[in-house]
Every structure is written in C-alpha cells, then in structure tokens.
Amino acid sequence: MTTNTRDKIIELAQEAIATRGYSAFSFRELAAELGIKSASIHYHFPTKTHLGVEVARNYRSRLQLALEHIAGQEPDPKEALENLVVIFRQEAATSQRMTVCTMLAAEIKNLPDEIQREMKAFYDLNLNWIASRLLESGLSGGESYEKARQIFALLQGGLMGAKGQNDPAYFDVVMKAVQRLIHS
C-alpha cells in the first residue's frame, strides 16, 4: 500500500523518541513491532543518526507548513500567536510529536552533529516566526526578540512540566502567562 516500511519506521521512531528519548529506543524493538529483523532497518536508514535526522526533519517541515498556513490565513498577528498555542496543546495532547523536539533539545549534547543542526533549525523556525508576529503587532525588533524567547520558553517549560507532573492542566496554567505576554 501507500504505507511503506520506511514510513512506518519513521513513525515508530518518532513515537519512541517522544516517550523514551533518542538514546533509549532501539532498532531491535522497532524491528519486532514491524515483524522484521533489526538488520533490515539498516537497509532503509544506514545508521541511527540517519533515522534521527529524518524524524526531526519530518516534524520540522510539517510544523513549517502549519506556521505558514496560520500566518497566511490569520492577518491579526496576536490571533496567529494564539493559534500557535493551540497547535502546541493539540500536539501535546494527541500525538507526542511536539515532545520529540523537547526530548531532542534536552539530549542535544549527546546527539550527533547532524541532529544538533536540525534542532538548531527547529529553534530558529519557531523563534523567527513568533518574533515576526510580534513585530507585526507593533513591537520593536528588540522587544520582539526578547518576547519570542520568553514565549517559547513557556511553551517548552509548560510541556515538560505537564509531563513531569503527569498533569495536562499544568500546560494550560502556564499558557495563561503566554496570553499575557501576547496581549501586553
């Protein structure tokens, strides 16, 4: 069918990284879920690094599309920022996709260079998009730069706290501070 082995591997790896982390998941457990041998995964992805890069790039490109969609659809920059919060909440609740990047960010010092570069690009994508919306809303360049980092720290810290406390409400409480930053 359309769902080939390669795509299934990426999806399983995504889930595994989100829940347990990059260095904790194994080719052998992925292979077992797919009904093949671990050596077969190396046919699709020569090394674990290649697979990790693909997972990160996969998610980043999907987020980029979503961000472009919001910015194109919603002319009010403050409303666009509210939509970003909604995306983060959904991703956090349903899939674990958002968590992939929080996991990789925490592990970053242990990751191969290629994945580190991918994560750096992920930060830049988010920070630049948030700062652009803040600029549109009338803030100065300096203010936008600072506030973008504060908002993103709240998003990441809120996700980690909700996970650490095993309490989705944690994220929502933290998001109230984001609202205040957006509308001030």
Q: Is 118 helix (H, G, I), strand (E, B) or coil?
A: helix
CB 163 within 8 A of CB 146: no
56, two tokens: 């990160």
Residues of this chain, 111-130, that bind a copy of itself according to CB under 8 A: 119-120, 123
Distance of alpha carbon 137 from the chain centroid: 25
Binding mask 108-147 vs DNA (x if CB under 7 A, - otherwise)? ----------------------------------------
85, two tokens: 């919060």
- Tell me the CA distances in angstroms from 115 to 75, 109, 159, one per residue in order: 34, 10, 21
Nearest to 114 by CA among 173, 60, 170, 43: 60
Residues contacting DNA: total by CB under 7 A? 20
Residue 3 CB, shortest distance to DNA, in Å, is 12
Residue whose CB is less far from DNA, 43 or 86: 43
Q: Is residue 140 within the footprint of a copy of itself (CB under 8 A)?
A: no
CB 114 within 8 A of CB 48: no
Residue 159 CB, shortest distance to DNA, in Å, is 25
Q: Is residue 28 within the footprint of DNA (CB under 7 A)?
A: yes
Give the whole-angstrom CA distance, residue 76 versus residue 84: 13
Q: Is residue 177 within the footprint of a copy of itself (CB under 8 A)?
A: yes
Q: Is residue 54 within the footprint of DNA (CB under 7 A)?
A: no
Q: Is residue 163 within the footprint of a copy of itself (CB under 8 A)?
A: yes
Name the segment binding a copy of itself (CB under 8 A); options: 32-40, 49-57, 58-66, 104-112.
Answer: 104-112
